[in-house]
Amino acid sequence: MVFGAGAVRELPAELDRLGAKRALLLSTPEQKESLLKVSKTLGSRCAGTYDKAAMHVPIEIAEDARRAARELGADCCVTVGGGSTTGLGKAIALTSSMPILAVPTTYAGSEMTPIYGLTEGGAKKTGRDLKVLPKAVIYDPELTLSLPPALSASSGMNAIAHSVEALYAQDANPVISLMAEEGIRALAKALPSIVQQPGDLAARSEALYGAWLCGIALGSAGMALHHKLCHVLGGSFNLPHAETHSIVLPHAMRYNQDAAREAMARVERALGAASAPRAIYDLEKGLPLPMKLADIGLKEADLERAARIATETPYPNPRKVEYAPVLELLRNAYSGARP
Ligand code: NAD
């Protein structure tokens, strides 16, 4: 892990360390320019670029990128982007065992986890495999300066959600809890500054540091009701990933508040507040974020079906997952009520 402003210049040295000679560079179409800049630092060690990464890793794109990697004779993938781009690198690594060197440009945290996702026939499947865990990660806050305030806020809250659930996970442990609490503190401090001044490099560094910690929390502890709900809302109702996380989080925390007192106390300490779900809600209110599921495309008539799917095969959760209170949670998230 390399961290610091300008750290992307360490890319050739990191490739040396991995023993990689021909890197395939990946990005989304929107980040093609950043990709080309990074590719220039590699000279002849850039085997080629592939800029068609897309949200939730559609299998057709994964197969096309795997073919490109083979045809170009690549021996390593460099991902320059957010969770969608890292996810495409993971899809290639899954079938080729090619090492990934990740250069994250959002706060989603995928670069720190062995979790992959692929979407086939409209359904997203996720799994865990150490083959997809990046072998090296370069965190360069300068590459996040262009992340728009709204995307910064939603991906930062997505990261905070990873840490919150790691704090009350069935397999929580004291070291990961320290990291999760610190990750929440760093992001909660940085996000309002970033929204006010997207070019604030100190705040960008703090946020990326928080994202790193939250990514480790996600990769190390099992997730609970909040992640299950977001998975259902994204997978079955096609809601946008990061915004869904930020809207649902305070309500999922309210659901678990009494059953996870120690975890809530850590969040309260990180935020300097008396009620963890309210403090998260109030933090979000001050950021350019949608606060209601109604505002991001969910229909009121879908709430019961969402509650049913989410409670059929629940993830382990501190409070028993039951249909009626989960429906109430979703109704509150739908209307954006303060918990
Ligand atoms: P994303 O990667 O989809 O990026 C969102 C948009 O922001 C894209 O258009 C991208 O090009 C643009 N962008 C990214 N960085 C930018 C920058 N610095 N400047 C300007 N534009 C930039 O968004 P995300 O929230 O990072 O990732 C979401 C995806 O990642 C979801 O599919 C989610 O399931 C997955 N994810 C996976 C894991 C895991 O552990 N496997 C963890 C978190 C998220």
Average pLDDT of adjacent 10-residue blocks, the chain of 339 residues: 96 96 98 94 94 95 98 98 98 97 98 96 88 98 98 98 98 98 98 98 98 98 96 91 96 98 98 98 98 97 97 95 98 98
> Distance from the CA of 182 to the center of ligand 1, in angstroms?
22
* Contact (Cβ atoms closer than 8 angstroms) between residue 300 and residue 165: no
Q: 228 to each of 50, 168, 250, how far by Cα in Å?
A: 32, 14, 14
Say if ligand 1 is within 6 A of residue 110 CB: yes
Looking up tokens 């760093």, which residue turns up?
186
Three-state SS at 151? helix
> Distance from the CA of 35 to the center of ligand 1, in angstroms?
15
What token pair was written down for 281? 């809600």
**Which distant-in-sequence residues (6+ apart) come within 8 Å of 192 by Cβ?**
283, 286, 287
For residues 184 and 267, give the distance between their C-alpha atoms in angstroms, rounded to a whole number: 7
Q: Whose CA is nearest to atom 2 of ligand 1?
A: 82
Strands 115-120, 123-128: pairing is antiparallel
pLDDT on residue 121: 84
pLDDT on residue 123: 79
pLDDT on residue 8: 96
Three-state SS at 301? helix
